[in-house]
Chain A
Amino acid sequence: MTVRFIHTADWQIGMKASGIGPVGQQVREARLDTINRVLGVAKERGINLLLITGDVFEDNAVDRFLVRKVGDKLSRFPGRVYIIPGNHDPLVPGSVWEHAVWEEASNVSVIREPEPIELDDCILYPCPLEEKYSTRNPTSWIDAGESEKIAIGLAHGNVEGLPDADPDFPIPRDAAGRAGLDFLAVGHWHSFATYPGADGAVRLAYSGTHETTKFGERDSGNVLVVEIDERGAAPKLESVPVGRLQWQTEETSLEREGALDSVLSGLNEIPAPESTLLRLRLNGLLYASDRAKLASVEEIVSTRFLYGIVDGQSLVPAPEDDSWIESLPVGPVREAAEKIREQALHASDEEKKAVATRALIQLFEMNEKNHEGE
């Protein structure tokens, strides 16, 4: 009687990668590759039911080649796959779901009607979306109270009570209980999240996306393995990481001379830099003697990682660190250096500060070169 299945959602195939420079294409490819890992988890655990709750594709106008690839991958899954269209890929004319691959993949069902689907040991209550936006609760039609089999809902939307969320396809927190479902698998939010009922049993959960989509995205890059012993039993949930890419944000405040040394060693400790996207934020004081190190930090970050960026915009030259300026020859250059330093420390807007800091660094370098006789 026990039902086991994998709940996944929000693959967002073909999605845009903002703010990661030229590696968007690689990140998109990773999202596609990770489908194999999702299927791999099922295979490892002998699970033959895969429920995808919306937003498989980022948009209905994605490259048809991507649709074909996803369809082909899913068709190779040795079990049943049920997909509901989400708000990104709603069931509208011209949608990705009109692609021939969905006819060809006999094990894959793209659900097009909100009607119960009776399987051997459970009944699915799917809620496919037909629009990008709606204030309607997509699960409201479900009435599984009388079901004798285990009742599983598939939906896509905002669980009510989420912070800063519009009532976009709103799903009540107690939707599962209200509809008589044993479990309501939900997509839309990219982080894994569960909503326990009054009895403590979790009957409503976001699996989260299988592959992280951006910096700062909590608990993403997983699939959810669900096991329900019998009708009415509390589902057992296990969030299994499948994501390939690490989206890492490091923020370090430099307070003393030589502080960049620890940043450098920190970089060395990051595992699998080739699949890591790193955003390194530096603030605090920059000492003249550390400038060369800053350059090598930038070098390492931008070359060793899949993608890396150092944000040093808010670094300011250390105020007590003016030895090199004093070593400049007396005259207009030294006077200018002092003025620019003033600006780097005290300018009213950040951009001016950044420009001034940059100017100082340039002068510093030129002075060095001058000494070296280049």
Chain B
Amino acid sequence: MLLHKITVSHWRSLLNEVAMGPFSERVNVVHAPNGTGKSAMFEAMRRGLFDAHHVTGGEIEAVRPWGRDLSPSVTVEFSEDDQTYRVEKIFLSGSSAKLSRLESGSFQPLATGRDADARIREILAADAPGRGLSRHEHWGLAQILWAPQGALHLEAISENVAKNVRAALGVQISGETGGQLEERIARRYLDYFTKTGKPKTGKNAAPVTGLTERRERLKAQLVELRQKQQGFEEASRTVEDARNRRDQARREADSLRQTLGGLRKQAEEYTRLKSDLKNKQESESLAKERYENLNAAKERIEATRKEITELEEKVKQAAKREGEFKTEWETAKELLEKRRSERETARARSSQTSDHLKKIETARQFLSDQSDSESLRTRLDKITNLEAELQKERKKRTETVAPDAKTVREARKLIGERDTAVASLAASQVHLTLTPETTVSVHNLTEDSSHQASPSHPLKLSGDAMVEVKVEGFGGIRAAGPEGGAEKHRDAIREAKDKLEKLCEPYGSTDPDRLDALREKAQELDQSIKAIQQKTETLLDGTTTDALSSRLAEIKARRKATLETYPDWEQNPPVLSELQSAFDQFNNEIRDTVQKAEDAFDKQQGVCTTAENQLNTHMAQLKADRKNLESARKRLEELTQDGLSDEHRTKAISEALMNWKASKETAGQLEEQLKAIPGDPAKDLEKLERQLGAHEDTENKARDDEKTAEGRLQGLAAEGAYSKLIACEEELENVDEQIGHETTKMEAIRLLHDTVTECKQAVVASVAAPLERSATQMLSRVVGPRLGRLRLDQNFVPEAIHPDLASEPVKLDNLSGGEQEQLFLITRLALAEVLAKSGRQLIVLDDVLNATDSGRLARLLTLLEEVSDRLQIIILTCHPERYRGLGGAEFFELNH
């Protein structure tokens, strides 16, 4: 297809009609800034060519300019197979389609509406979309030729387009028959598998799926049945075990019962033997007693006889020694008396020590009395002196009449009152002062008194209301003032004077200072008295003078008495330490002597007591022996009372001995019989009976267990688990076999399918080879040989590169973004060249090669120039300057 002209209106940002063209058959560069509708224009071209005019939905709605009720429309003029067409389409409200063909210089309608849509697609070998807008795979060759904005990548090429490419390459992979067979295989394959090679599931699932499910169910069932079968066998075993336990318990009980029988018999025998033995033992002990009694009597007689002989000899000897013991005792007694008197003598001396002690005590008292009497005397003297002084002070105090502080205060107050009244009087009077140059006499007419006045002694005169004088040599002078008030003041003065005189009468003065002095003097005296009294009290120290005097008298009396005993102490008072040491010496001597005498006495007393004791013991022994002798004789008499002879006695003894031995033997035999029976069977019997009870219990329990287990077992047996189990196993085997069959069948078809696909791929790969070669060549012209060989898949989509240096092909996502876009552009160009063999084709490159550097871009431009011999190229860009180097390119600026 070759594009001539395109007109768009109401399309996204293109509000008004925008027309572009006619385009060059070679290279065209459409440029405009971003967002001005370059891509929208080419979108409109695609929609106009490939989409049904009546398409609805969100996607086509999005094409309508925002917020306007406009119907997007597009007109495209193009050539295909030497024919020129015009397509006019309006979408959404008032949608329409019209296809015209250039016939004899003008466009003649060819089809409208849906027919027009279909006819265009036919011309362009495009596929109809199902519903909604067409997708990439519906674009026919444009899939390869037209790169939408920024999308140079080729993700997939539809089988139809691939077929076109193959056709253009002049290759046929499978003939018609081959193709049919392939289809058969594919259909068969799809009976069992999905397109991605997984076994089908759901309602179209392969039979093996159902079989496998059945197998799983059977397996689960089998497990259950096996458990049941096992349960049956276990239950059987449980019953058997219980039975064995019961049998065992019964056997044990039986054997125990047998043992018990024997044991009971034995117990009876034992009891009988025991009682026999007891009887025999009793008679044996009687015989033994008799023998022993006889024997003992004989022995006692003999012993008594021997005892008598011995005692007689002993008494005889003792009588002989009696005198010796007595003499010894007497001698000891005498010596003891001697020792006693010696001791008394010594003791008497010791009484002197108390005299000594008494003297020391007296001396100590004497000395103490001496010092006490001295101090007492001094103390009494002091007290006497103080008492005399006190007497004197008291007298002085009595003579002193003094006011107290209150009286003094009262006097002072009265004086104040008097002075105030005097002042008030003076103020109420008329005063006249005469100071003459020479001495003159003055006669007071008012009072009628005369006075002398001189310059050194001026005369002052006062009078109530008026003073009138007659001055010698001068004449009379009268001074007058206001009248009245003087009498009142004079009364006040008089009253105060009277009170004062009355108050101070006892003290002989009204002068307050004098009164104060009197008061202080009295106070001093009082204090002095008090101090003397205190001193006296201190000296008395709680006692009285009388008591002190009597104590002194007492001491004096004692001294006098002591001095009567020790008169020399008057002159030489005793020294205590001397007296004490003299006493100590004397005392030691006395003590030693007394001790010795007492020791000697005590010792002798011991000797004496021993002697006495010996004598007494001896006498007691003798007495006892005599008594024993007497009793032995009496005993012998009793023992021999029966009057039997010694021979007779011996014979009786030997007879009793034989009796005893005989009965002892009988008892021995019985004992032997008893020994054969170990222990008292009664005890064992009790134990065994208890054991038997336990066994019987065990047996009963085992029986119960057995019953329970038996019940369960019967239930399980009735189920016939084994029969169910094998039926299930058989079914499972059967299913397994069917699965095997089905699997082989499926695997066979899979093998067939996969092998055919593989072979086909190999053929396709060989078809793609020339294309790969030309693309590889172009690639190496742009990027150099580094990327090696380009590999296309069976539908010619680039899948890998194989660098010469790498052992394995490398996935495309390992390439940089720039190299990837270069590679895809080149692949598109190579494919376009193949397709262009049947006629010029349009290549649209919308905003591509953004990641390509300028060096490679220059090489790509050369390449584009080269291919523009066979291809019409439209480049949409916002960087027209990048394409300025393209020789012969037409530039279109989009402005509306």
A92 interfacial by beta-carbon distance below 8 Å: yes
In the assembled complex, the CB of A72 is this many whole angstroms from the nearest CB of chain B, namely 17
In the assembled complex, the CB of A30 is this many whole angstroms from the nearest CB of chain B, namely 15
Q: Say yes or no: A359 contacts B748, CB within 8 Å.
A: yes
A272 interfacial by beta-carbon distance below 8 Å: no
Stretch among A110-118, A152-160, A239-247, A328-336 lining the B interface: A328-336
In the assembled complex, the CB of A363 is this many whole angstroms from the nearest CB of chain B, namely 6
Question: Which of B175, B713, B756 is A94 in contact with, Cβ under 8 Å?
Answer: B713
Complex alpha-carbon distance, A354 and B182, angstroms: 22
Indicate whether A332 sits within 8 Å of B720 (C-beta atoms), given known contacts A92-B240, A355-B747. no
Q: Say yes or no: B720 contacts A331, CB within 8 Å.
A: no
Q: Say yes or no: B713 contacts A331, CB within 8 Å.
A: no
Residues of A within 8 A of B755 (CB): 336, 339-340, 359
Complex alpha-carbon distance, A264 and B174, angstroms: 40
Complex alpha-carbon distance, A103 and B40, angstroms: 101
In the assembled complex, the CB of B476 is this many whole angstroms from the nearest CB of chain A, namely 187
Question: Which of B177, B237, B730 is A16 in contact with, Cβ under 8 Å?
Answer: B730
Q: Say yes or no: A367 contacts B726, CB within 8 Å.
A: no
- Over the window 163-191 of chain B, the binary record of Cβ atoms lying under 8 Å from chain A Cβ atoms (1 yes, 0 no) is 00000000001111110111011001000
Residues of B within 8 A of A334 (CB): 178
| Number of chain A residues close to chain B: CB under 8 A | 48
Stretch among B228-236, B304-312, B388-396, B582-590 lining the A interface: B228-236
Chain A interface, DSSP helix/strand/loop, else mixed: helix
Complex alpha-carbon distance, A281 and B314, angstroms: 141
Residues of A within 8 A of B180 (CB): 370
Indicate whether A94 sits within 8 Å of B235 (C-beta atoms), given known contacts A61-B722, A65-B720. yes
In the assembled complex, the CB of B459 is this many whole angstroms from the nearest CB of chain A, namely 179
Stretch among B55-63, B135-143, B658-666, B758-766 lining the A interface: B758-766
Q: Which of B721, B730, B734 has the most CB of A within 10 A?
A: B730
Q: Say yes or no: A22 contacts B734, CB within 8 Å.
A: yes
Question: Which of A62, A330, A333 is B722 in contact with, Cβ under 8 Å?
Answer: A62
Q: Say yes or no: A60 contacts B175, CB within 8 Å.
A: no
Indicate whether A336 sits within 8 Å of B733 (C-beta atoms), given known contacts A369-B184, A370-B184. no
- Over the window 65-108 of chain A, the binary record of Cβ atoms lying under 8 Å from chain B Cβ atoms (1 yes, 0 no) is 11000000000000000000000000011110010000000000
- Over the window 239-278 of chain A, the binary record of Cβ atoms lying under 8 Å from chain B Cβ atoms (1 yes, 0 no) is 0000000000000000000000000000000000000000
B239 interfacial by beta-carbon distance below 8 Å: yes
Indicate whether A93 sits within 8 Å of B760 (C-beta atoms), given known contacts A24-B727, A64-B720. no
Minimum CB distance partner of A23 in chain B: B730
Q: Say yes or no: A60 contacts B232, CB within 8 Å.
A: yes
Q: Say yes or no: A366 contacts B181, CB within 8 Å.
A: yes
Minimum CB distance partner of A67 in chain B: B720
| Number of chain B residues close to chain A: CB under 8 A | 57
Q: Say yes or no: B714 contacts A329, CB within 8 Å.
A: no
In the assembled complex, the CB of B247 is this many whole angstroms from the nearest CB of chain A, namely 13
A17 interfacial by beta-carbon distance below 8 Å: yes
Residues of A within 8 A of B559 (CB): none
Minimum CB distance partner of A361 in chain B: B748
Question: Which of A14, A336, A358 is B744 in contact with, Cβ under 8 Å?
Answer: A358
Indicate whether A25 sits within 8 Å of B232 (C-beta atoms), given known contacts A333-B185, A333-B756, A336-B756. no
Number of A-B contacts (CB under 8 A): 160
Residues of A within 8 A of B229 (CB): 59, 61
Q: Say yes or no: A362 contacts B748, CB within 8 Å.
A: yes
Q: Say yes or no: A19 contacts B733, CB within 8 Å.
A: yes
Indicate whether A366 sits within 8 Å of B730 (C-beta atoms), given known contacts A21-B737, A355-B747. no
Q: Say yes or no: A362 contacts B752, CB within 8 Å.
A: yes
Residues of A within 8 A of B729 (CB): 16
Residues of A within 8 A of B720 (CB): 61-66
Q: Say yes or no: B726 contacts A366, CB within 8 Å.
A: no
Q: Say yes or no: A335 contacts B752, CB within 8 Å.
A: no
Residues of B within 8 A of A329 (CB): 174-178, 181
Indicate whether A61 sits within 8 Å of B745 (C-beta atoms), given known contacts A16-B729, A25-B727. no
Complex alpha-carbon distance, A94 and B185, angstroms: 60
User: Could you tell me which residues of chain A, from 42 to 67, have a CB within 8 Å of some CB in chain B?
Assistant: 58-66
Minimum CB distance partner of B730 in chain A: A24
B749 interfacial by beta-carbon distance below 8 Å: yes
B751 interfacial by beta-carbon distance below 8 Å: yes
Indicate whether A339 sits within 8 Å of B759 (C-beta atoms), given known contacts A24-B726, A94-B717, A362-B188. yes
Minimum CB distance partner of A99 in chain B: B717
Residues of A within 8 A of B758 (CB): 336
Question: Which of B173, B722, B759 is A14 in contact with, Cβ under 8 Å?
Answer: B722
Minimum CB distance partner of B177 in chain A: A329
A201 interfacial by beta-carbon distance below 8 Å: no
User: Could you tell me which residues of chain A, from 1 to 58, have a CB within 8 Å of some CB in chain B?
Assistant: 14-19, 21-22, 24-25, 58
In the assembled complex, the CB of A62 is this many whole angstroms from the nearest CB of chain B, namely 5
Minimum CB distance partner of B763 in chain A: A332
In the assembled complex, the CB of A34 is this many whole angstroms from the nearest CB of chain B, namely 18
**A interface residues, Cβ below 8 angstroms from B:** 14-19, 21-22, 24-25, 58-66, 92-95, 98, 328-336, 339-340, 343, 354-356, 358-359, 361-363, 366-367, 369-370
Can you name 19 A-B pairs with beta carbons within 8 Å?
A15-B726, A21-B733, A24-B727, A92-B240, A94-B717, A329-B181, A330-B175, A331-B175, A333-B185, A335-B759, A336-B756, A340-B751, A358-B745, A358-B747, A359-B749, A362-B188, A366-B181, A369-B184, A370-B181
